[in-house]
Structure 1
């Protein structure tokens, strides 16, 4: 009987890491059956059994979650029903702790035979160490990215494996051969969530206007993580009369990081990615 895996990721960074994991698992176990939710990269790696939901699921802050509580409650129930019918051997939860830890608790109760594995541990060492005993009770194994995380979870009795950070390998695959930086190109990276873009991009536009007033030959590009975000970004550019001189590119963030001479970047995974490209 083929092995079955259910996987949950709720953000674009988790989608990228999850896609790499799924590709590796599919190589090792070609008959692996995969169900769950993630983003476009995971959907491409897993096939028809995995749904792309990150554009709707990647919200930020308590208020945004509360505004969409009914939606999240419905998705939670649908996914739990799907998992119970699928009966996977393993559930892999990728980051996204606010949702995933609650989902782990429900699966532990409803499907005790399913092994629960967490990939990319929540940064509880920084913001909520009190969650570690609960995680040790719920999970069968933690796969962590940083070596200092391993003893934190192991001391609570949770089997923990340090697997290393996949970001360097992922970025190397997207490195452009022979690319040279454009000394006049400035990258604007307002984030991958609607709320981030709404809050940060207007300030980035104003900054770009000041730079353009200082150097009229500067060029500006902004990558959009999705079609929906591209439309939001274009609307903001039109509203601020900047649509004729700031270019929007869908899904070109890694290319822009390698071509631009400098960038303004929302705090998060993108800052680390840009640093890796130098």
Structure 2
């Protein structure tokens, strides 16, 4: 293979953008070759030297009701991406998560890129619903990189090369600088001499999540502030979503917006957090932050999920340990009263609940390290390099 081979990456949402950026950096570090990169991603991949073919926000939707109104644009971007890949004929295409988009893309490309190897990063959750999908994944891809230790056997049983490369959240502590606490307190005007207790609110990275869960999370924080008026409430978010959050929070100055690049420092400084579903729950766990999670789906999405999803827990830590370590509140139970009660218990460590969460997080961390040595990004990079 030429030293300047092209690797094309496709990420459909912000979490995939971060995975893609770390993967590119690790490949450059490991390979020692003048490899080229192109694809679809966000700000993190762009900073890593992979300019996006189009804005990633065009693909960042979740749930049936959210996808349908934007389907024409998504299909247009699918065709645009396919045309670009066919024109470039890359050595490897790495699709990252977002199976609804990525799998359709690979189906379009298989016959048109006969010399290209197709690798998917983040295994679809066949263990949660429709295990028979594993066979279809095996037909589409040449390789699969799994983030959870129990996932590879679902796919190797169908002849697909699949490997557990570790979960990227295990290395989050490395993003924290020794002087980070002092710099953070100064930037966000928090007292170092009399530091407040901190609660973080994670409203989600999509407008749909904010619309559904913003009001109950705000209500929960408001209830907690009535009992704990000196509490600092941090709201890590991205700039284009702050206007929507302001519509919920209003002019309440007790809610402190935190820049996206400071979010992990905010997590690490928090005594507790209230979070929406998704990757953020595992990120909080890997940084040792006790938290509760809320899940609200549109009616059509929830109706479909109830009939198809076959797992006892929603949070990844709860799934890994097969016990309810992190409190989960679903649909109507994800209300201000319930979220406030559970979060307040964590803040004051009532009956040792915060310590029990931290003990569970430590067990989950050990399970997510990966098996190949090095960071998860380095393990993933080695897997990809095996196809060059």
Q: Report if TM-score (shorter chain) is over 0.5.
A: yes
Distance 1:114 1:159, change over 3 A: same
8 A contact 1:186–1:218 mirrored in 2: yes
Compute the displacement of 1:110 (Å).
Answer: 2.0
Do the aligned partners of 1:39 and 1:51 also contact (CA within 8 Å) in 2? no
Q: Which moved more, 1:70-79 or 1:30-39?
A: 30-39
2:243 to 231, 238, 258: 231
CA contact (8 A) 1:9 1:93 kept: yes
Counterpart residue number, 1:197: 210
Q: Name the residue aligned to 2:48.
A: 45
* Distance in 2, Cα, partners of 1:82 & 1:35: 10
Runs of 4+ aligned residues of structure 1 deviating over 6 Å after TM superposition are none
| Alpha-carbon distance between aligned partners in 1 of 2:116 and 2:126, rounded to the nearest angstrom | 24
Tell me which residue corresponds to 2:229: 216
Does the 8 A contact of 2:8 with 2:90 survive in 1? yes
Give, in angstroms, the shift of residue 99 of structure 1: 0.8
Give the superposition deviation at 1:162.
Answer: 2.3
- How far residue 161 of structure 1 moved from its aligned partner, in angstroms, is 2.2
- What residue is the counterpart of 1:91 in the other structure? 93
Aligned residues: 272
Which protein has the bigger strand share?
1
* TM-score (structure 2 length as normaliser): 0.67
Greater relative contact order: 1 or 2 (C-alpha under 8 angstroms, separation 6 or more)? 2
What is the CA-CA distance between 1:87 and the residue it aligns to?
A: 0.8
Deviation at 1:109? 2.6
| Counterpart in the other structure of 1:273 | 283
User: What is residue 245 of structure 1 aligned with on the other side?
Assistant: 254
Q: Are residues 52 and 16 of structure 1, via their aligned partners in 2, closer, same or farther at CA, if it must alter by over 3 Å?
A: farther
Deviation of 1:51 after TM superposition, in Å, equals 4.2
Deviation by residue 1:156-175 (Cα, 9 ceiling, x = unmatched): 11112222222212x12312
Match of 1:173 in 2: 174
**Shift of the alpha carbon at 1:36?**
0.8
Q: Unpaired runs of 5+ in structure 1?
A: none
TM-score by structure 1 length?
A: 0.92
| Structure 2 residue runs without a partner (length 5+) | 186-194, 289-388
Q: Distance in 2 between matches of 1:43 and 1:96?
A: 19
Partners in 2 of 1:74 and 1:52 — Cα distance?
11
1:256 corresponds to which residue? 266
Q: Distance in 2 between matches of 1:223 and 1:130?
A: 38
| Equivalent residue number for residue 337 of structure 2 | none
Q: Which residue of 1 aligns with 2:141?
A: 139
Matched residue SS, 1:157? coil
Match of 2:327 in 1: none
Q: What RMSD over aligned residues (CA atoms) do the two structures have, in Å?
A: 1.8
Q: Are residues 1:57 and 2:66 paired?
A: no
Matches within 5 A, 1:9-20: 9-20=11-22
How many Å apart are 1:145 and its aligned residue? 1.9
- CA, structure 1 residues 52+257, in 2 after alignment: closer, same or farther (shift >3 Å)? farther
2:214 match: secondary structure: helix
Asked whether the 8 Å contact 1:234–1:248 carries over to 2, the reply is no
Q: 1:221-277: per-residue Cα shift (whole Å, max 9, x none)? A: 1011x2211221122222xx53x2211122032111111221111122111111111
Shift of 1:52: 6.3
Deviation of the 1:150 alpha carbon = 1.6
Contact 2:93–2:117 (Cα < 8 Å) also in 1: yes
Secondary structure at 2:199 match in 1: strand
